[in-house]
Amino acid sequence: MTEKLHLTPEDEFPEDLSKVADQELQVLDSQVQRQLDYEYVADGEPNPETEFRHYDLDEEFSERDKRQD
């Protein structure tokens, strides 16, 4: 996994988040959130790819929460 603080829309992103370990998923979430914050400040709105990634991560976290119940 990359050591970058942000995950730009051009950076690679896993196709199947269900295969990503919990800790790596948390890192991805942090990177995408930082990128969203940057895009709002720099561009006034997020890149659609970053928004999709954020949504996908939220969905994966929700699925994992359901499996642990």
The pLDDT tens digits for 44-56 are: 999 999 999 999 9
In single-letter form, the type of residue at position 32 comes to V
Q: State both tokens at 11.
A: 């950076």
Q: Which of 32, 59, 60 is nearest to 48 (CA)?
A: 32
Question: What's the confidence (pLDDT) of residue 1?
Answer: 46
Predicted local confidence at residue 48, as pLDDT: 97
Residue 15 within a domain: no
* pLDDT greater than 60 at residue 2: no
Expressed as residue numbers, the domain containing 25 is: 20-54
pLDDT at 38 over 90: yes
Rounded Cα–Cα distance for residues 37 and 60 (Å): 21
User: Is 65 inside a domain boundary?
Assistant: no
Report yes or no on 11 lying in a domain.
no
Q: Look at the chain and report how many structural domains it folds into.
A: 1
Residues 6+ apart with CB under 8 A from 54: 32, 33, 36, 46
Model pTM? 0.88
Whether 60 maps to a domain, the answer reads no
Task: Evaluate whether residue 30 is within a structural domain.
Answer: yes
